[in-house]
Structure 1
Amino acid sequence: MKEWIGSAAVCFNEKNEILMVRGYDSDAWAIPSGGIEMRESPEECCIREVKEETGYEVEVIDTLFVKETNIKGIKAKTHYFKVKKMGESQGINDPDNIIASAEWKSLSELQKIEHAYPEDLELLLNLIKSAS
C-alpha cells in the first residue's frame, strides 16, 4: 500500500478565528496542510505549507495529534500542529498552484461552510471553544 505523510496547521488569530484554505477546483475548505518533503521534519513541513498556502510565517506551539486514514488506497498519516502566526500575510505563493484563497473563519462560519475533511470539523470546533 502506498503511503503519504504530511502535516496540517491549526492557526488562530486574535479574534479566535481559524485560518482555512480553499482550492481552485472546490467549494470545500480545509486547514493548511501538505506532504512532508525529503529530509524535512513534520514541524518544518507544517511551517513551509502554511507559508506557501497562506503567506503567513508561523511557529509551532503545540503538537496536537496524528491522524491516520486511508484515502483511495493510500495510507495517509497527517501530523496536526497548533501554530501561531507572526506578522501579516505575504500572499499565497503555492508552488502546486492549487490554493485559490486563504481566509479566517469564525466559529459560526465553520459550522456553515463545506469541509474538505468533515472529520476535522469537531476537532476545530473543540479547539476554538477551548481557546475562548
Structure 2
Amino acid sequence: MTKTWNGSAGVCFNDRGEVLLIRGFNSTKWAIPSGGIEKGETPEGCCVREMMEETGYPVKILKKLKIKTTVVKGYDVCIHYFLVEVNGSPKPLNDPDQLVEEAAWFSFDELSILDHQYPEDLPFLTSLYDEIEKSSL
C-alpha cells in the first residue's frame, strides 16, 4: 500500500508586491508556508490554519492556484496551493510543530538570490509575480 501525505500551502503578497516565506530552525532555506491536512479538515481550512501557525498572519483565501503532486521519501505527496491575503493583524508565531524560526516578506528581486527549500516553486512564484504585476496596472 502506498503511503500518502496531503497538505496545503498559502501564497501571500502584500501591498508592496512582496511574498511571505518561512525559514525553519537551523536552516538557510526559505519556503512557501505549508502543512499537512488534519483529519476532518478541508484543504482551505488547512491553508488558513497553517498560515496562522507558521507566519502569525490571519489570512483569507482568494483563489485556488494549483495542486502539486510529487514523491518525497516514499510518500505520494499532494499539496493544494492557494492565493491568500492578510486578513487582520499579525500575531506572534505559534507553530505547534516547532519547525518555523522566521517568517519574512521578500521582493521579486530578492527571490532569485534566496536559498529555496523547494527550488521547483521558484518558477511558479515568478509567474505569479508577473500575474500580480499585470493585474495591478
**In structure 2, what is the equivalent of residue 68 of structure 1?**
69
Query: CA offsets per residue over residues 51-105 of structure 1, 9 Å max, x none?
Result: 0001100001100010000011110000000001112310211000110000001
Partner of 2:44: helix, strand, or coil?
helix
Query: CA offsets per residue over residues 30-70 of structure 1, 9 Å max, x none?
Result: 01000000100000000000000011000011000100000
**In structure 2, what is the equivalent of residue 111 of structure 1?**
112
Q: Which amino acid aligns with 2:102?
A: S
Aligned ranges 1:1-132 → 2 under 5 Å: 1-132=2-133
* Cα drift, residue 25 of structure 1: 2.9
Partner of 2:6: helix, strand, or coil?
strand
TM-score normalised by the chain length of structure 2? 0.94
Partner of 1:129: helix, strand, or coil?
helix
Q: Which amino acid aligns with 2:74?
A: G
Partner of 1:66: helix, strand, or coil?
strand
Q: Which amino acid aligns with 2:11?
A: V
Q: Which amino acid aligns with 1:69?
A: T
Report the more deviating stretch, 62-71 or 81-90: 81-90
Q: Which amino acid aligns with 1:33?
A: S
**Distance (Å, rounded) in 2 between the aligned partners of 1:53 and 1:131:** 24
For structure 2, the 5+ residue unaligned runs are none
Percent of paired sites with the same residue: 48
Q: Across the two proteins, how many residue pairs are aligned to each other?
A: 132
**Distance (Å, rounded) in 1 between the aligned partners of 2:26 and 2:44:** 28
The root-mean-square deviation of aligned C-alpha atoms, in Å, is 0.7
